[in-house]
Structure formats: C-alpha cells, structure tokens
Amino acid sequence: MEINRRQFLIKTSSSLAAGWALTNGILRPDSAAAEEVNSIPFATPVFLMKYSPKVKVSDYRPALNATAATVIFERTINHITKLYFLDLTNPSATPTLAFPTLKESFRADWSWRTGVVAFMNPNSGIYLSTDPIIPIPNTTKMTYPTWYPDGATLAVYNNQTHHPALPIPRTSKMDLTGTVLDQVLANDKVWAGFPSVNQTNANLIAFAGQVIKTGTTYNQNMNYIWLTDTSTPTPTVKTLAPGAPLNKFDPNFQGRAPTYSPDGKWIAFESNRFNSTGRYSIFMQIADGSQVAVRVTDPGWDAQHAKWYPNGTELVVTLLQTKGAALGSDRGIAKLDVSAFVA
C-alpha cells in the first residue's frame, strides 16, 4: 500500500521516544497530543556535486537562479565563509568563487525577476551582485535579504537600533538605496527573524520568530513559523500552526527559515521538533496553515535552509555529507523531489 502525504503520523508530545503501531494501514504513535505529519517515504537527497572526505569543505544556504541552471551557496574552508557559484547544466562543473574581492560573503537570495543576487558581508551589510558589486548604504546589522517579487525591494532581518524603540530583531522592508520603507512588517509584540515574501502576493510574509517577553532575549532555537498580512493598515500576525501556544514555547511547533513556494501555496521550513538529538528536518505546510506540517526528510540528514526550484516541485537544501554523521560535521547541498507532497 502506497502511503503519501495525506496519510500521516500524529506524533506524541509526551514522549519523543514513543512506540509505533499500525492502525488502519497507517503507522501512528501510541498516543497523540501534538500536530505533525510525516511523509513515508522521505524524499531522497540527490547531491549537486561530489564530496570527498579528503577535501574538507562545508556547504550551506543554497539559492537558485530563475532557470535552475546555477546555484549560489556558502562554502566554509578553514573557518572562512564565501559564496560560490555552481553550473548545474554541466555535470563536470566545479564551484567558482562568486565575489573574490570580499573576504567573506554569505546568506544570498536570487531575484528571479532581475537576476540580481542580494547577499551580505559581516562588516558592510547587504550587497548586490552588480558589476562591480556594491554595498547598499545603511545596512549594517541587517541580514538575510529576501527579494520581493518586483526585484526592487527587499525584506530583511533587522537588528538596527531605532528610536522610538522597536523590536530587535524585526523584519523590515527596504529599497535598493538603503531606505527603509517599513520598519516593522510584523508588530511590536513579536521578535521577527528570517523572512520570506510570497511571490504571488507581496502582502504576505512568512518569518521565523517568537513572542517578546520581558527579561528575555531572542533565541532562534525557540522560534515558531509566523505569517504577516500587510494588506490592512494594522498587519495581521499569526502563527502558521494555529495550535502553537503563545504563553509558553512548545518545541513541538518549533520552526526556522521558512520559504514560500513559487506559486505561494506552500511553505517549506526547518525544524528539530520531535527529535531528541536536536537534528533538523525539512517540513512543508500549506501556506494558510489549514493542514498540519509534513516532514519530508529523514532527521539523520540534519537538513536545513530549503529553497525552492522554479518548478515548485523540488527543493535545494543543505545537509550532512553523510547521513547520521555527528552534528557539526561537514555539510553538502542537495536537491529533493517533493512533487509527491505538493500534488
């Protein structure tokens, strides 16, 4: 019997090591108290290049161009991280350094409208991949630039101090001159991190974040996935999972690094929910939150930072070069066929 994304597992929140039973042809835990959907089978990673244990590199945070002909990604060698390009049309291609004049570069996003890459440098803020590359003024302490569909504005993770006081971090909207068009895309009740803009409706923003609590600081490991709708004068802000409790963090709803599918109907994100060793999996959830999340990767890969292929049926992710390797081991980039989950 084939089991697809609509046949799912409801995972127990009382024990991360719950036993499993076969009920009506579907594997389920012995008890069920929290929302989760597991896909069976998981999507199989296909590495985009060969990795050798003799060559110590670790690749992270990939993003594709509009034709999926090229991927840009972070490569760390001897603790120095720089962006590289890889030609995906040539099976023999090797990575080439993207911006050799910069000592470090990372966290890239590719505009499918203009072909420009936005990325960041730890000292100067956000850059654009023009010729020559240029820093956007006044963007220090801004990171994770994410393109709006117009190719002329960015959503950013903003850690700049602002008077009167605004949340740090927050998600802001800016143009390519460095002018902040909207300081807070969520509200002043939420610390808002890594954003993604719906490419079919720019009023919709997904982000990783958490409720602001006096006496505490932002902790990315305690994030939920949130949604903002900026179409009204006061934005609507809610968690993607309707059941996520706001008064106390529930690890069963933890999530980071959301990204909208090209058609705006799905959100892929990473989460270590229901994993006692802290390993991450890629999850997918319908973008309005009306269905529970589907786990699409085996946690043994510790898969993170998914981005969509333009076809909307594949993801590019970073994961351990060897399944089950120790956390902190070298990472690679791979694609996942998720067509079974978006059908």
> What's the pLDDT tens digit per position in 117-161?
999 998 889 999 998 999 999 999 999 999 999 999 999 999 999
Mean pLDDT of the 300-328 span: 97
CA 274 to chain centre: 18
Task: Kindly report, residue by residue over 220-256, the tens digit of the pLDDT.
Answer: 999 999 999 999 989 999 999 999 999 999 999 999 9
Q: Could you read off the pLDDT of 37-61 as tens digits, one per residue?
A: 454 589 999 999 999 988 999 999 9
For residue 181, pLDDT over 60 is answered with yes
Q: Is the pLDDT of residue 260 over 50?
A: yes
Give residue-wise pLDDT tens across range 67-79: 999 999 999 999 9
State the pLDDT at residue 40: 56
* Higher pLDDT among residues 190 and 29, named by residue: 190
**Which segment of 28-37, 73-82, 294-303 scores lowest on mean pLDDT?**
28-37
Band the pLDDT of 197: cuts 50, 70, 90: very high
| CATH class of the domain comprising 44-277+301-342 | mainly beta
Phi (first) and psi of residue 60, to 5 degrees: -150, 160
Distances, alpha carbon 303 to alpha carbons 53, 178, 242, 250, 260, in Å: 19, 33, 25, 21, 17
Give the mean pLDDT of the chain. 89
So where are the chain's domains? 44-277+301-342
How confident is the model at residue 38, as a pLDDT? 52
Q: How far apart, in whole angstroms, are the C-alpha atoms of residue 252 and residue 272? A: 9
* Rounded percentage of the chain residues whose pLDDT exceeds 90: 84
Distance CA 324, CA 277 (A): 11
Q: Distance of CA 266 to CAs 44, 260, 293, 312, 314, Å?
A: 20, 6, 10, 9, 12
**Beta-carbon neighbour count of residue 57 at 10 Å?**
17
């309707």: which residue's tokens? 242
pLDDT confidence tier of residue 3, bands split at 50, 70 and 90? very low
